[in-house]
């Protein structure tokens, strides 16, 4: 089994609570809050730990909230490689309206990163990258981190023979398509991001798989995965295309489904599972995650139970 390093430059202390109703201009009496460490890479590490694996989380932390985050990660049993952030760690929170079930999520931007902090982080990650292992870059980039960060990261970790699993969106994803250097071993995106990149709807599994294959052909990654929500996910390589159906489960919250997928996928790849099996494991973890509340991720017992429902078919 190869080692896994996750990267979170814009972590957060996530607070989740509930109120009878969410209405303007009145005090909202909330339930006792639940606090979790958050941010894409951290959630991937949490999922890996829940599924019986191990990873090291490279996390930029700063200020009292950064200290709180370090404490939460220690409680979760996650190995930490801390990096001094250029400002206070952000805090985000969600409130669930008990009368409707609607969830309101408030996400803060994080501190502004100067160029020297970006360069220092790249150097530190290069030293921490596991030889022949997997490096997962997931989640939002904080203000000031350039859109070419994934490309620059790849050239740094290549010396260790590490492979990049990239789950990104927005401007960094669009820049990736224009870059001459291609950074990813695996590139994952959701359906909306894929359609924005394609500039057209992708209404079917075949349409998503064709687009994913086109990104492989263009050299963006060796493996491209597009999540299709309740329909599951498609995976494409230069020679194969697969679809894995999501399990039919009651949806409580979609928060953390993508991170659970990436955590399970990274763990499967670190074990050298065959690609269809790794895809199935990821989809089962995502299906399990939507059954849990707020900032909770997948439950291992649910993942094991749902695996047989997540059928992989060749396209």
Residue of 232, 252, 257, 234 whose CA lies nearest to 292: 252
Active-site position among 67, 259, 272, 273: 259
Strand partners, 223: 186
105 bridge partner residues = 94
Annotated active-site residue 210? The verdict is: no
Kindly tell me the burial class for residue 99, based on how many C-beta atoms sit within 10 Å of its own C-beta (0-12, 13-18, 19 or more): exposed
Q: Which burial class, exposed, middle or buried, applies to 180 when counting CB atoms under 10 A from its CB (0-12, 13-18, 19+)? A: exposed
Chain centre distance of CA 58: 14
Whose CA is closest to 267, among 255, 282, 286? 282
Alpha-carbon gap, residue 95 to 17, rounded angstroms: 5
Question: Which residue, 43, 18, 29, 26, is CA-closest to 94?
Answer: 18
Residues with a known catalytic role: 259
């Amino acid at each position: 089994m190869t080692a896994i390093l996750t990267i979170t430059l814009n972590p957060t202390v996530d607070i989740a609570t509930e109120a009878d109703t969410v209405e303007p201009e009145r005090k909202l009496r909330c339930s006792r809050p639940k606090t979790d460490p958050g941010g894409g890479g951290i959630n991937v590490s949490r999922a890996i730990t829940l599924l019986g694996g191990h990873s090291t989380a490279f996390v930029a932390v700063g200020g009292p909230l950064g200290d709180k985050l370090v404490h939460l990660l220690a409680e979760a049993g996650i190995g930490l490689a801390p990096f001094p952030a250029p400002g206070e760690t952000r805090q985000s929170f969600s409130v669930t309206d008990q009368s409707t079930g609607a969830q309101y999520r408030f996400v803060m931007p994080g501190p502004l990163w100067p160029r020297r902090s970006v360069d220092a982080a790249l150097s530190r990650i290069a030293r921490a990258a596991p030889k022949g292992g997997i490096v997962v870059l997931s989640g939002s980039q904080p203000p000031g981190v350039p859109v070419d960060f994934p490309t620059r990261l790849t050239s740094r970790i290549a010396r260790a023979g590490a492979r990049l699993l990239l789950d990104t969106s927005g401007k960094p994803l669009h820049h990736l398509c224009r870059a001459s250097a291609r950074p990813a071993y695996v590139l994952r995106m959701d359906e909306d991001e894929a359609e924005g990149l394609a500039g057209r709807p992708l209404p079917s599994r075949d349409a998503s798989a064709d687009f994913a294959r086109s990104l492989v052909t263009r050299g963006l990654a060796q493996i491209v995965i597009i999540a299709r929500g309740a329909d599951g996910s498609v995976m494409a390589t230069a020679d194969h295309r697969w679809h894995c159906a999501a399990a039919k489960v009651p949806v409580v919250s979609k928060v953390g489904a993508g991170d659970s997928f990436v955590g399970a996928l990274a763990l499967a790849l670190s074990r050298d599972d065959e690609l269809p099996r790794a895809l199935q494991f990821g989809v089962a973890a995502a299906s399990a995650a939507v059954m849990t509340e707020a900032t909770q991720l997948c439950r291992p017992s649910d993942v094991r139970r749902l695996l047989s429902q997540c059928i992989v078919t060749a396209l």
